[in-house]
Structure 1
Amino acid sequence: MTEKIWRLLPSSENSQKLSCETGISAVKARLLINRGIINAKEIDSFLSPKLSGLIDPMLLKDMEEGTALIISAIERQVKIAIFGDYDADGLTATAVLVNFFTELGIPVLYYIPDRIEEGYSLNAKAIEMLHGENVRLIITVDCGVSNKKEIEYAKSLGMDVVVTDHHQIPDDFEPLCPVINPNRADSTFSFRSLAGVGVAFFLAVGIRQSIRKKGWFRQASEPDLRHYLDLVALGTIADMVPLTGQNRIIVTAGIEAIRSSRWLGIEAMKKICGLENQQMSAADMAFKLAPRFNAPGRIGDNKAAILSLVTDNYSIALNTARELNSMNSERQKIEGAIVEDIETNIIPSMDIDGKRTLLFSKQGWHKGVLGIVASKILEKYHKPTIVLTVKNGIASGSGRSIDGFNLHESLTTLKHLLKKFGGHYHAAGCTLESHNIETFAQELEELAVKTIKDEDLVPAIIVDDRLMLNQLTIDSVNDIRTLEPFGSGNPEPVFYSGNIEVIDSRVVGENHLKLRVRQGDIIHEVIGFNLAVAHVNIQGSLVNMVYTPEINRWNGSERVQLRLLDIEPANKSTRLRTDILKN
């Protein structure tokens, strides 16, 4: 396992100027510049996201046509179905529209395809089933933009379709129905990075706006869509889209809404996760709530997940939350067993150091968890990784990649070996005949040899700034934390401090490192999760470290705590790099 380098982002001449112009600290100015926020107007929008800053949904291409078709179906009392996806983004998107229509008094069906049996997005069998239920309008969420053939089939049965999706537009795209997708080149909607649930939310806003003009709410209450924002935030965070722009507005408001959620399934899951009566963070939603809603789609029947988000019965919500929690535990066991199988039985016989890419395949591995397995292998070895399961002569699975190797582009180059594939730069899935696996692995490696540079294979921690420990006070750390919510596009701030004395070191829990460190007269506590290996011979020594500062609140008291990311001896060659990052 390669040691990580610490790559310090270059300082900007504008940080001091921006600090003077806006009144923010120089450290905060540098953090914002590192995140592409470079002027006073952008800073105000970033630090004070307001719902009034949401873009008019009618600027999304086909929003007017889509809402008109939906309203017409409602007025004609046509049966409507929401067709979703099995991940947390698709589930929350489905829940947003089901709950919205229910609040309007309009009954709708919902359909979530089975990941293993049906795969992703619209399929003929599901369309036939919905047609048999007398559904005549399908609204897709988080899927549909690549379903030209299936949409044609639905239309041939006399069904209308409205697509809402956020995935990339395929080369052969032809809008056979209203297709609401911010990535459309002909859309005037200025923000491209909505999650699927974000697009569904904007559809609800557009429908409400249109029926308000028709006078629907003169004698009926109007849905308050602010209550839906915790659902939207959960799906947005789970899908790892950038938490900037419109997503930042949505997630900030959603974190506030989830403190006292209207949705019983979320309240029940908070109870299961021990998050009742606690201030929620984006990290809580990403690492505690989202995996539990994702688990059923990965390993089994996802009916419990969507039921928990649309039920108005707390007993059902609590039972389904328990079921999802159990499924998540099972998911962890399954993926752990596959990782152990790879580490124990396959990797020892491979020349890992001599490879640019890693590909593993085996009969019997559970298809639903292979993306997570690939992520874990990539995290350890920092090489593009594809993991496939084989059944009946067909290999299918998922891959994850590093900066410097566009996985989707590579699969496109190798499409002559694939039955199907999809994804984006860092994550993709593919299916191929099992007899092509060896050739596929060989040609993928050849592409990587031509593409990946040696420095791409060295993992790096991106460091925002150097700090002295006396710069970290409760006030300054709270000020830094105003950049929350953190996530994709807005990572947690990371700092470097050097020549720090370790005055106490101990191992806590199973594998965690607890330190007390000193620089001058300043002493701070440090926690390093899964870093107990650094405990040996560290007490009394001088170290350099990279970390994220946070506030530890306990029994009504507050103190600064540093969450350690990496550590090294101060008297040896440092891993800190100050060269400018590659584009």
Structure 2
Amino acid sequence: MRYVPFMKKRCEILQPNTDTVEQLLKVIKCSPIFASILVNRGMASPEDISDFLNPSLNLLRPPFCIKDINIAVQRIYKAIKDNEKLLIFGDYDVDGVTATTILYQFFCYVGIDVSYYVPHRLTEGYDLQVTHIREHALTNRIKLIITVDCGSNSHEAVQAANKVGIDVIITDHHKISRPSPPALAIINPNQPDCPAGFEHLAGVGVALYLLVSLRKHLRDRHFWHNRPEPNLKEFIDLVALGTMADLVPLTFENRIFCAIGKEVIQDSKRPGIQALVEASGLKLKVITAEDLVFRLAPRLNAAGRMGHAKEAVELLTTIHPDTAKQKAGILNQMNVNRQHIEIKIIDEICQHINNNPHVLQKGALVFTSSKWHLGVLGIVASRLVERYHRPVVLISTKGKEGKGSARSIPGFNLYKGLQACSKDLESFGGHPAAAGLKIKYEKIKPFEQHFEKIVQKMTGPNDFLPIITIDYVLDFDHISDSLIDELESLKPHGPGNPAPIFMAKNVDVLSSKIVGGNHRQMQLRQTSGRTGKTFRAIHFNAKTDPPLKNSFEQIIFRLDWNRWNGKKTKQIMIEDTETFTI
């Protein structure tokens, strides 16, 4: 068998340049542990470190070099002057919903005749289509369409719009799978000939930068003389939500958006955010970046997955607290329904794999069903990638057609893989780690075979071993309040800026109990520790089958504050106890 068993993991311990660490300690005040982590993450100068640890809107790079952005703002300015009807065409995920909201609210403030349209995931599918031009834009006398988080592959729709005199401005961040659509302007940092260096932005980040450019364009033409110039910081809460939910790298602008956005949310006056936070069982003033990703974003996403994403836009745009509370309740129930359906599909697929273990000899997992809810397939695929560490494609079929979601592992570029199989597909789009596709029913089997060959060709055995990157081998003696405070300054965490991971060896379990069904709460002490320090630890989703271990040769863990009833205590968050080192 080519692929090693999926249960194994490999561990890579980072080794910082000791000379660089020593030089860093001479110019900044921090612990050697923290300095090592900074060096491991490519930060060696005091200026880089200061910018990273002190995110500020003043550090944002100007967007004026993004290709076509000047063409776009000139056309929008004409629409404002001539009072043309403007349509914002969005996407149904959190990135698309938040991008739709900020553009809609900005143009409402400007006073232009603006509306928005978000397609239904199940009945209309992704992206701007010819039917949207004929049945919505044309009948509503739209003169200008601005897409957000979509449109980069909408060739036929843009051509249809051009034929009837409707201009299209595309704002997006997805890869373009073929020559660009004939839009008036394409604002997409990921198009091949865009030199701006903003490839990491989410769709909502691209939309915000359009507003930054447009606001300046209007300022230069004295537009704001009769009304206050809008403070775009008021949109950063939604930019943070969309950015974190879309799992783009939390570096450069994205880190600034998310750090400042969390602060804006904590002081939010937006009724929709207030209601969503309350429905999630949270409190505004103490909300964390993790809450945005794991509590708020899933509820906003549930609208597009289980119903219609316009519910999420209506929640974020309403100025009425009662309406916001009602909408948040609807989204909350949708999220509960989503969780139930998700669990059912995961259990079904895992049971199939347990009954047919030979499928794990393949490099990719491709499954099809006519009974699956299309709206949850992306989440289910992500869960299966976490469990089996293989690229996963899930296809929901209806009649002679199928629609699917795909997720991948770090060692396999999913977008390029699907591109290599494009002859089997009706359409596809996405990123190296996540994608969506449409396929004819009779093409599913050939696609599965072709995709498997592509995965084998583009990967090696080590790509199928989950890798845990260790920032530092840390003795319990060196765990302190000040160290955890230093680690806190690295937040928010996400792709491109993961939480620091540590390793400790020879750890004894002094006490242990199972909480919440399958979480193991422990009191730990390191055998070789000189100080005898003990720490509270929690291992979520631990193996609880007896006998529970009373000691570990090594543990892989994170450090964080455990906050409860206004108090905080040091806590070890165990990531893994069974791994091997490379």
- TM-score between the two structures when normalised by the length of structure 2: 0.94
Amino acid in the other structure paired with 1:4: K
542 and 155 in structure 1: CA distance in 2 versus 1, 3 angstrom threshold: closer
- Which residue pairs with 1:204 in the alignment? 211
- Which residue pairs with 2:571 in the alignment? 561
523 and 534 in structure 1: CA distance in 2 versus 1, 3 angstrom threshold: farther
1:154-173 mapped onto 2 (5 Å cutoff):
154-173=161-180
Moved more, 432-441 or 459-468: 432-441
The 2-side partners of 1:120 and 1:247 are apart by 24
- Which residue pairs with 2:365 in the alignment? 358
- 1:446 is displaced (CA, Å) by 2.5
In structure 2, the residue corresponding to 1:500 is in which secondary structure? strand
- 1:7 is displaced (CA, Å) by 2.2
556 and 410 in structure 1: CA distance in 2 versus 1, 3 angstrom threshold: closer
- 1:103 is displaced (CA, Å) by 2.3
81 and 517 in structure 1: CA distance in 2 versus 1, 3 angstrom threshold: same
**Counterpart among 216, 220, 225 of residue 213 in structure 1:** 220
- Which residue pairs with 1:65 in the alignment? 71
- 1:136 is displaced (CA, Å) by 1.0
Confirm or deny that 1:314 pairs with 2:321: yes
The 1-side partners of 2:26 and 2:366 are apart by 52
Cα contact 2:177–2:419 (8 A) shared by 1: no
In structure 2, the residue corresponding to 1:335 is in which secondary structure? helix
- Which residue pairs with 1:491 in the alignment? 498
In structure 2, the residue corresponding to 1:379 is in which secondary structure? helix
Cα contact 1:167–1:183 (8 A) shared by 2: yes
The 2-side partners of 1:535 and 1:312 are apart by 54
- 1:542 is displaced (CA, Å) by 4.6
- Which residue pairs with 1:134 in the alignment? 141
The 1-side partners of 2:195 and 2:12 are apart by 37
Identity %: 38
Confirm or deny that 1:343 pairs with 2:350: yes
Amino acid in the other structure paired with 2:411: G
535 and 18 in structure 1: CA distance in 2 versus 1, 3 angstrom threshold: farther
Cα contact 2:177–2:429 (8 A) shared by 1: no
Amino acid in the other structure paired with 1:200: A
In structure 2, the residue corresponding to 1:351 is in which secondary structure? helix
Confirm or deny that 1:40 pairs with 2:42: no
Moved more, 316-325 or 208-217: 208-217
**Counterpart among 543, 550, 559 of residue 549 in structure 1:** 559
- 1:566 is displaced (CA, Å) by 1.1
In structure 2, the residue corresponding to 1:422 is in which secondary structure? strand
Confirm or deny that 1:478 pairs with 2:489: no
- Which residue pairs with 1:4 in the alignment? 9
- 1:142 is displaced (CA, Å) by 0.8
In structure 2, the residue corresponding to 1:64 is in which secondary structure? helix
- Which residue pairs with 1:241 in the alignment? 248
- Which residue pairs with 1:105 in the alignment? 111
Cα contact 1:104–1:223 (8 A) shared by 2: no
The 1-side partners of 2:404 and 2:552 are apart by 46
The 1-side partners of 2:287 and 2:93 are apart by 21
The 2-side partners of 1:317 and 1:265 are apart by 5
32 and 535 in structure 1: CA distance in 2 versus 1, 3 angstrom threshold: farther
Moved more, 166-175 or 45-54: 166-175
439 and 347 in structure 1: CA distance in 2 versus 1, 3 angstrom threshold: farther
Confirm or deny that 1:511 pairs with 2:518: yes
532 and 413 in structure 1: CA distance in 2 versus 1, 3 angstrom threshold: closer
Cα contact 1:507–1:532 (8 A) shared by 2: no
**Counterpart among 404, 407, 410 of residue 414 in structure 2:** 407
- 1:473 is displaced (CA, Å) by 1.0
- Which residue pairs with 1:572 in the alignment? none
Cα contact 1:81–1:137 (8 A) shared by 2: yes
- 1:73 is displaced (CA, Å) by 0.6
**Counterpart among 52, 62, 87 of residue 81 in structure 1:** 87
Superposition RMSD in Å: 1.8
**Counterpart among 532, 537, 549 of residue 526 in structure 1:** 537
The 2-side partners of 1:171 and 1:5 are apart by 38
Amino acid in the other structure paired with 2:234: H
Amino acid in the other structure paired with 1:299: M
The 1-side partners of 2:260 and 2:272 are apart by 19
Cα contact 2:429–2:435 (8 A) shared by 1: yes
- TM-score between the two structures when normalised by the length of structure 1: 0.94
- 1:117 is displaced (CA, Å) by 1.5
In structure 1, the residue corresponding to 2:224 is in which secondary structure? coil
Deviations along 1:274-303, one digit per CA (max 9) or x if unpaired, are 222442222110110111111121122222
Structure 2's unaligned 5+ residue stretches are: 1-5
**Counterpart among 443, 446, 450 of residue 457 in structure 2:** 450
- Which residue pairs with 1:26 in the alignment? 32
The 2-side partners of 1:167 and 1:450 are apart by 25
Deviations along 1:122-150, one digit per CA (max 9) or x if unpaired, are 11221221221121111111111222221
The 1-side partners of 2:373 and 2:419 are apart by 25
Cα contact 1:35–1:489 (8 A) shared by 2: no
- Which residue pairs with 1:94 in the alignment? 100
Cα contact 1:291–1:328 (8 A) shared by 2: yes
- 1:315 is displaced (CA, Å) by 0.9
The 1-side partners of 2:11 and 2:161 are apart by 53
Cα contact 1:55–1:189 (8 A) shared by 2: no
- 1:188 is displaced (CA, Å) by 4.2
Number of positions where the alignment pairs a residue of Structure 1 with one of Structure 2: 571
The 2-side partners of 1:409 and 1:324 are apart by 35
Confirm or deny that 1:125 pairs with 2:131: yes
In structure 2, the residue corresponding to 1:298 is in which secondary structure? helix
Amino acid in the other structure paired with 1:420: S
Cα contact 2:367–2:395 (8 A) shared by 1: yes
The 2-side partners of 1:11 and 1:34 are apart by 5
In structure 1, the residue corresponding to 2:358 is in which secondary structure? coil
23 and 354 in structure 1: CA distance in 2 versus 1, 3 angstrom threshold: same
Cα contact 1:292–1:327 (8 A) shared by 2: yes
Cα contact 2:21–2:35 (8 A) shared by 1: yes
Cα contact 2:401–2:438 (8 A) shared by 1: yes
**Counterpart among 435, 439, 446 of residue 432 in structure 1:** 439
In structure 2, the residue corresponding to 1:485 is in which secondary structure? coil
In structure 1, the residue corresponding to 2:361 is in which secondary structure? coil
- 1:459 is displaced (CA, Å) by 1.4
- Which residue pairs with 1:571 in the alignment? none
**Counterpart among 253, 263, 268 of residue 261 in structure 1:** 268
Confirm or deny that 1:226 pairs with 2:215: no
Cα contact 1:505–1:538 (8 A) shared by 2: no
**Counterpart among 419, 423, 430 of residue 416 in structure 1:** 423
Which 4+ residue blocks in structure 1 deviate beyond 3 angstroms? 184-188
- Which residue pairs with 2:197 in the alignment? 190
- 1:576 is displaced (CA, Å) by 4.0
The 2-side partners of 1:545 and 1:141 are apart by 44
Cα contact 2:174–2:429 (8 A) shared by 1: no
